[in-house]
Chain A
Amino acid sequence: MIDAVGLHKVYRLKKHRVTALNGVDLHVEPGEIYGVVGQSGAGKSTLLRSVNLLERPDAGTVTVDGEELTSLRGARLRTARRGIGMVHQHFALLSSRTVAGNVGFPLEVSGVGRAERRERVGELLDLVGLGDKARAYPSQLSGGQKQRVGIARALASRPKVLLSDEATSALDPATTDSILALLRRLRDELGLTILLITHEMDVIKKICDSAAIMENGEFREAGRVLDLIGTPGSLLARSLFPLPDLAGPDTVVVTYPRSFDEPLMSELTRRFDVDVNILGGGVEQVAGQSVGRLGVDVRGARRSQALTYLSEHGLLVEEAGE
């Protein structure tokens, strides 16, 4: 649905040059929620803005839903942008307009008549659960409600793609969860493709099917979240499940890249007569699977066989001491 190839972007400031994008390839499947995570200054904001050409890349092409946006200018680019919704970190609502006025704005701009607009605005507000707030002004809403308005507005022109620029970064944890749940529901109900950028690993964990880790204008890793977690040495796995510094001589890091029904650890102690001591880690729901990463001390004569047993059952075992 979104294909970006070879994106380069350099900002020329007064004295020095800042490379925001250094050869980024992005591929987002239809109906997927794709998260790009990275520190501020990693270039993720420039990447997101390249998708709807708010920033024009110096080199590379962007194709959304089969249309190469990088070749468009003027009126045709504006029309293409209407097929891509965008939500913003600080909501970007017009303070001078009511909720209904904000949601109706993109329709007004694209010349939709008043009656049709009103009907569509009503639908959209119901969709995001703000049916009773049509006449309120943004200043009368909470952060979460403002973002719901932002999402309703982004969906007004029935886009196939939604871009989310740190949509939950200004919200508290509970509100963040409700907004993420809303995004996932909209993806399921409307078949949206969502590209989001965030600096919160939690967002990746909670709603993303695919993810990329971005650093200094480049993707360090990109792919399906579960695949990445199951990849040895994965940065994403390390970032999603950080472990304390616990490298003893017998310590291994065990990654569960999917849900397991079998009691593998107790099996391990019985079969191989090893002592297993869990030092730290976590297990969480990621993309509908119970995924985890544990730092474990495994001691005993048959340690290496025990570890092989785990690997054979699909766990990822990495020596932590090395």
Chain B
Amino acid sequence: MTADTAATLILAANTDAAGPWEAVVAFLRDWPNMWPDLWLATQDTVYMVLWATIFSVLVGLPLGVLLVTTDRGGLTPAPVVRAVLSAVVNIGRSLPFIVLMVAVLSLTRFLVGTTLGPTAAIVPLSIGAIPFFARLVETSLREVDREVVEAAHAMGTRRFTIVGKVMLPEALPGLIAGLVMTVVALISYSAMAGAIGGGGLGDLAIREGYQRFNDHYLWATVILLIVIVQAAQSLGDLLVRRLTRR
């Protein structure tokens, strides 16, 4: 966006807003002007969230499984391992995301080469979401009927197979629900990542909406974030309904 159009936008926002209706009309008229920026920011947000989700699943799922299996009465009880894992997860969970982002800056620079832009934001996003998702995985796996696990043992099933063919499939609806919660949390985190130069819709809202007083950008990003979260939630709910056989 050029400084020129930005100036007209600010002007438009401030002069046309005589009443609520006029404000809405002005906002809608402004939409095509904002769209290139919004579209880029949306792509950045989806890009960040998507990759962070993939990493969260890749690391958080095994971590959640281990939290359950290493527990007392689990498949492979290992109290020390479990205590360490649990502590690590708790540390990750107790840091506010905005602090975590700053805290891992040097790691981000090491992994990505820069601390700016959407790719760099994937690092703190993943680190923030992994313990979150791991706990959700743990909770859903605990819901699996112990008798069913026992039955699998009685049938001479290997422990690895019990995880893969009994615990995970039985917990699948809960796992999907947890994944949706993680995606929604990541969308919210990604907006914060914008604050330190991560790009995406949050970044746009802060730069244009907050720092340049352009309400239209603020509204537009709010609307787009709501649409994205709603879409993720609905898709997740649909999957959960399809998969639930209880």
For the complex, count residues of B whose C-beta is within 8 A of A: 21
B173 to chain A, nearest CB (A): 9
Name B148's contact: one of A81, A84, A93 (CB within 8 Å). Answer: A93
The answer to the question of B92 belonging to the interface, with a C-beta cut-off of 8 Å to chain A, is: no
The interface stretch among B115-123, B164-172, B219-227 is B164-172
The answer to the question of A115 belonging to the interface, with a C-beta cut-off of 8 Å to chain B, is: no
Distance in angstroms between the alpha carbons of A94 and B153 in the assembled complex: 13
Total inter-chain residue pairs, C-beta < 8 Å: 66
**CB nearest to A91 among chain B residues:** B147
Instruction: Find out whether the CB atom of B150 lies under 8 angstroms from the CB atom of A106.
Output: no
Instruction: Find out whether the CB atom of A90 lies under 8 angstroms from the CB atom of B165.
Output: no
Distance in angstroms between the alpha carbons of A52 and B154 in the assembled complex: 7
Which residues of the other chain, A, contact B243 by a CB distance below 8 angstroms? Answer: 96
List CB contacts (< 8 Å) of B148-167 with chain A.
Answer: 148, 150-158, 161, 165-166
Secondary structure class of chain B's binding surface, majority of residues: helix
Name B147's contact: one of A78, A88, A110, A138 (CB within 8 Å). Answer: A88
Instruction: Find out whether the CB atom of B154 lies under 8 angstroms from the CB atom of A54.
Output: yes
Instruction: Find out whether the CB atom of B155 lies under 8 angstroms from the CB atom of A90.
Output: no
Distance in angstroms between the alpha carbons of A108 and B154 in the assembled complex: 14
For the complex, count residues of A whose C-beta is within 8 A of B: 30
Which residues of the other chain, A, contact B246 by a CB distance below 8 angstroms? Answer: 95, 139
Which residues of the other chain, A, contact B158 by a CB distance below 8 angstroms? Answer: 78, 109
List CB contacts (< 8 Å) of A179-212 with chain B.
Answer: none
A230 to chain B, nearest CB (A): 36
Instruction: Find out whether the CB atom of B156 lies under 8 angstroms from the CB atom of A110.
Output: yes
Which residues of the other chain, A, contact B147 by a CB distance below 8 angstroms? Answer: 88-90, 92
The 6 A-B residue pairs with the shortest CB-CB distance in the complex, in nearest-first order: A92-B151, A78-B156, A81-B156, A86-B154, A82-B156, A106-B155
Binding site for B on A (CB under 8 A): 52, 54, 77-82, 84, 86, 88-90, 92-97, 105-106, 108-110, 137-139, 153, 157, 163
